[in-house]
Amino acid sequence: MRPFKHPEIDAVSLEHLLHALSDPVRMDIVRRLADEGEASCNALDGGRPKSSMSHHFRVLREAGLVWTRNDGTVHMNSLRRKELDKRFPGLMKAVLTAK
């Protein structure tokens, strides 16, 4: 498997980040990753179609929210929390505590 492309944290824009978080499915993925640390795509799909989830993970990766790595045939995802906290202080805390 080829590695995924991730933007440098300095290239992450607030507009793309907020757009990615505007979708309830993606927001749920981000919240679950914040709680669990790292999880496979399958563990986070909630029974949704693979094609739909691939789209959501791509949006999250391109926005700089999620880091995806290959672990054999499984894609493991983690929230780029430390990097995001440094780039946008307080934003992720506010996003994750909002109801």
Look up the domain containing 41 and give its range: 11-92
Distance, in Å, from the CA atom of 71 to the CA atom of 94, rounded to the nearest integer, reads 31
Q: Beta partners for 40? A: 76
User: Residue 24 sits in a domain of what CATH number?
Assistant: 1.10.10.10
Is residue 4 domain-resident?
A: no
Strand blocks (E) in 1-99: 38-40, 66-71, 74-79
Is residue 98 domain-resident?
A: no
Both tokens of 23, joined, read 């979708």
Structural domain count, the chain: 1
In this predicted model, what pLDDT tens digit does every residue of 1-55 receive, in sequence order?
677 889 999 999 999 999 999 999 999 999 999 999 999 888 887 888 888 888 9
